[in-house]
Homo-oligomer: A and B are copies of this chain.
């Protein structure tokens, strides 16, 4: 996988591995990561996004966005296969936890390339807004049996 203007190839691979592994091993769902692409400096939020900030030797954001139905499927899988049609307080909490899993696993993978990263507690963004940053997002499209998930990632070494 090639490096982007903002991200080293090793970091791209680390995040790609983290997300598909969490879906597969923690949730028991099929997951396939498509080729990441550069999205530019603004991306749309789907129904639900989990936004996590990164500080340390790298800094930036991981935004994990999906349709509400995908979030319900993920939460249902986290709760042992329940059918969830709407997110209540427990559901919101679960989808934040899912974000923590992905980000935590990404942090572990990044630390294998000698980076030290701290990840903020997640913020959920609910609604079709637009995210803008000063740099560029690299987007990881993940197809899973729970639905499609996009990871918009912008991490770069601290200047």
Contact = CB atoms under 8 A, between A and B. Distances in A.
B135 A121 contact: yes
A45 interface: yes
A118 B51 contact: no
Interface residues of chain A: helix, strand, loop or mixed (majority): strand
Given A61-B120, A121-B135, A128-B127, A56 B53 contact: no
- This protein's copies in its complex: 2
B120 A53 contact: yes
A123 to B, nearest CB: 5
Contacts of A123: 51, 61, 63, 131-133
For the complex of A and B, the 3 pairs showing the least CB-CB separation, nearest first, are A53-B53, A127-B129, A53-B120
Interface of A: 45, 51-56, 59-61, 63, 92-93, 96, 118-135, 154
